[in-house]
Amino acid sequence: MKKILLACTVLIACTATGETEQAPPPDMEYSYEFVTGGVEIPWGMAWLPNGDMLITERGGKLFIYRDELIEVPSSSLPGDIYANGQGGFLDVDVHPNYAENGWIYFTYSSSSGEGEGANTALIRAKLVDDELTGIETIYKATPNTTRGQHYGSRVEFDKNGYVFFSIGDRGNRNELPQDLSKDAGKIYRLHDDGSVPADNPFVNQAGAIDAVYSYGHRNPQGMALNPATGVIWAHEHGPRGGDELNIIEPGKNYGWPVISYGINYNGTPFAEDTVREGMEQPAIYWDPSIAPSGMTFVTGDKYPHWTGNVLVGSLKFNYIEMVKLEGNEVVGTEKLLEGIGRVRSLKQAPDGTIYVGVSGQGIFKVVATPVSEE
């Protein structure tokens, strides 16, 4: 078990009106505990109402953790999973009204459609007797390509029941992210059945894909609903430097590849600028890159020093980055659980426990314990 110690020494104070401020949380010891192995690259995690944890494995597997790891028969998974490079069986999320409708949503690299290779697809299915049934394709990006990078992809529901999902630029930064008539480099919003909301920002724009919600993205591998505002946030990999955390707003252009704080991997510049009118600035960017993957907002009281902030996994540096927030403003960052490994997925369960998927190791959970006074 690895541990970190976070102490608080602020005293209770009285305001000018005589009201007593809330007492600070006690000193806490934060550690992580091993839950299960057997998942090589745990891309996504989600929970059913009965407490079962669903875990996607990028290589093309789906697991249920129910006191032990159970593999869902591969024969019940989509037959067109194209596991190459960064592609495979990717994210998972459970419908907010799962108890009534039983729908589970997945993204993966799909080889269906015309052309060699694959592109990102969003599907939904039901789980019956630990097998997927009734698979429906909600969205399939085109065209297929044999390039193995930048599929995205995360899926997230907002408070209104809309489903958001991300698709990276598929390694074609010059043609796709800024073109609203083409998939990739976008975040999409749909009704849960795949129909397009009438108020999507580009519904009435000639030639534009009406499912698109925002554009100018590189490779968003983290997305989460900010419970305080009801707004979707997403982070994305930059090139060499320039990883970004963005507040996703309808119709906004996040600039890739016209503006960026990163450079080519060979050290040469490529972006035209870092700031441009009509293009959004990130809430925060990382240089050097941390290679972000997975993210979750912390709510509840299990981790009192973390509540109200957002956690981002680092593939490159083997830790979790806590981005400290005041409203929508980033006021600082802090490294947590250093040495845990390559963080691929990160999510808070319905009971408030934070789980971490680590490449090559499996699933861990974060434990907070009050420090005893001697």
285-311 pLDDT per residue, tens: 999 999 999 999 999 999 999 999 999
Cβ neighbour number for residue 55 with a 10 Å cutoff = 27
For residues 314-343, average pLDDT: 97
Residue type, 94: V
Q: Contact, 256 vs 217, CB < 8 A?
A: yes
Distance between alpha carbon 74 and the CA centroid of its chain, in Å?
Answer: 24
66 closest CA partner among 58, 76, 54 = 54
The span from the CA of 131 to the CA of 98, in Å, is 16
What local confidence, expressed as pLDDT, does residue 78 receive?
98
4 pLDDT exceeds 70?
no
Instruction: Assess contact for 232 and 215: CB atoms under 8 A.
Output: no
Domain spans of the chain, in order of start: 35-370
- For residue 178 the two structure tokens come to 């800024």
Q: What is the pLDDT of residues 182-204, one digit of tens each?
A: 999 999 999 999 999 999 999 99
Question: Tens of pLDDT along 210-221?
Answer: 999 999 999 999
Share of the chain above pLDDT 70, in %: 93
pLDDT at position 267:
85
Tokens encoding 136: 């429906």
Residue 185's nearest CA partner among 152, 224, 155 is 152
Q: Looking at the predicted structure, is the pLDDT value of residue 372 above 80?
A: no
What pLDDT does residue 79 have?
Answer: 97
20 has a pLDDT exceeding 50: no
> Which pTM does this prediction carry?
0.92
Sheet of 42-47: strands edge to edge? 42-47, 53-57, 61-65, 69-71
CATH 2.120.10.30 correct for 35-370 = yes
Helices (H) and strands (E) in the chain, counts: 1, 25
Contact 298, 348 (CB under 8 A): yes
Q: What is the DSSP letter of 30?
A: E
- Gap between the Cα atoms of 282 and 280, Å rounded: 6
**Number of residues that make up the chain:** 374
Phi and psi at residue 270, to the nearest 5°? -140, -35
pLDDT surpasses 90 at 314 = yes
Q: Hey, which residues are catalytic here? A: 150
